[in-house]
A and B are shown apart, each in its own frame.
Chain A
Amino acid sequence: MKIMKRASWRRAAWLLLAAALCAPSLTGCAAKGVAAYQRENLADPIMAFQTRAKKDARRVRALEAREGSTGGIGGEGGGCACK
């Protein structure tokens, strides 16, 4: 696989995050979104990011000792519309 040039991957990373923040406005998803009563599947353990958070952290730590890179696990919750 061709490796992207470093400058272009950095641009891509920032664009990726900016797209995540602005995508709802651009796509119109925010106008309606996913209602609270539609979120049962999203809260299921096989869907929630939090389910594997600790396991993923352990795996990243183990792989850091085996490979030259790190990361990919940051972030908190969200999604259930539960308050």
Chain B
Amino acid sequence: MTRTQPGIIPRVVLLAACAAALAAGSPARAGDAVAAYSAANGSAEATLGRHTLRMLDGSSTTLAEMRGQVVVVNFWATWCAPCRRELPRLDALHREIRTQGARVVAVSIDQNADNARRFARAGRLSMPVAHDGPEGLARELDLRHVPATVVLDRDGRIAWSTGRSDDAELAKLESVVRRLLGAVPVVADDPNGGGR
């Protein structure tokens, strides 16, 4: 009645080995996914640029129209807890950089735009928020993680991307944006310079 169950340690070790073997392939991050898309299709930037974004205020725009500005594109969802946590900090970043020729655009992948609208209103977000749903850019780029953040330089090229939202990563994002803002625009008389 008190005999130790035989063979339990080898079984536990076997299970742990299975788990470790599964862990051997490290998961792709959202930034990796975007880079992989570019490698396979040649132009994540073109996809990002041409896609029409429907803003919560009823207007429409494209990222191509924002060329000349540094744009931080953040894919988020109300059902994603890390997304909800980082949005206020991104909103603060937007307030800091919007007078410097840059902006943050939050793109909601919620199925229902009302959820995104409700969250934006409750959080008093000042940054532009678009509702794109799960079948828009997120599917086109085959995002593997949310939140996913892509930084576009003034020429619309992907300067940096990430699929993480911890404090260290957000600090890195802020420094990337500030560095890009310190760079002189390549084409000083770009008709889209100065942004909206």
A residues engaging B (CB < 8 A)?
10, 14, 17-18, 21-22, 24-25, 35-40, 43-44, 80-83
Residues in A neighbouring B19, C-beta threshold 8 A: 21
The contact of A36 among B14, B135, B144, by CB within 8 Å, is B144
Taken together as a complex, chains A and B put the C-alpha atoms of A83 and B80 apart, in Å, by 9
CB within 8 Å of A: which B5-64 residues = 5, 11, 14-15, 18-19, 22, 29-30
> Given the interface contacts A17-B15, A22-B18, does A36 sit within 8 Å of B143 by beta carbon?
yes
Give min CB distance, A20 to chain B, whole Å: 9
Is there contact, CB below 8 Å, between A81 and B146?
yes
Is B114 engaged at the interface, CB distance under 8 Å to the other chain? no
Residues in A neighbouring B147, C-beta threshold 8 A: 82-83
Residues in A neighbouring B81, C-beta threshold 8 A: 80, 82
Is B82 engaged at the interface, CB distance under 8 Å to the other chain? yes
Residues in A neighbouring B134, C-beta threshold 8 A: 37-38, 40
**A interface majority secondary structure:** helix
The contact of A40 among B82, B111, B139, by CB within 8 Å, is B111
The contact of B79 among A17, A25, A40, by CB within 8 Å, is A40
Is there contact, CB below 8 Å, between B145 and A81?
yes
Is there contact, CB below 8 Å, between B15 and A82?
no
Give min CB distance, A9 to chain B, whole Å: 13
Is there contact, CB below 8 Å, between A82 and B18?
no
Complex: chain A residue closest to B76, CB-CB: A82
Is there contact, CB below 8 Å, between B144 and A82?
no
Is B148 engaged at the interface, CB distance under 8 Å to the other chain? yes
Residues in B neighbouring A17, C-beta threshold 8 A: 15
**B interface majority secondary structure:** loop
The contact of B77 among A18, A21, A40, A83, by CB within 8 Å, is A40
Is there contact, CB below 8 Å, between A35 and B22?
no
Other than the given A14-B11, A35-B139, A81-B146, 4 more pairs (CB < 8 A) read A21-B18, A24-B22, A35-B142, A82-B145
Give min CB distance, B2 to chain A, whole Å: 16
Taken together as a complex, chains A and B put the C-alpha atoms of A35 and B109 apart, in Å, by 12
Complex: chain B residue closest to A43, CB-CB: B79
Is B91 engaged at the interface, CB distance under 8 Å to the other chain? no
Give min CB distance, A15 to chain B, whole Å: 10
Complex: chain A residue closest to B77, CB-CB: A40
Is there contact, CB below 8 Å, between B79 and A80?
yes
Is B66 engaged at the interface, CB distance under 8 Å to the other chain? no
Taken together as a complex, chains A and B put the C-alpha atoms of A35 and B37 apart, in Å, by 14
A-B contact pairs, 13 of them (CB 8 A): A17-B15, A35-B143, A36-B30, A36-B145, A36-B146, A37-B109, A37-B135, A40-B109, A80-B81, A82-B80, A82-B146, A82-B147, A83-B29
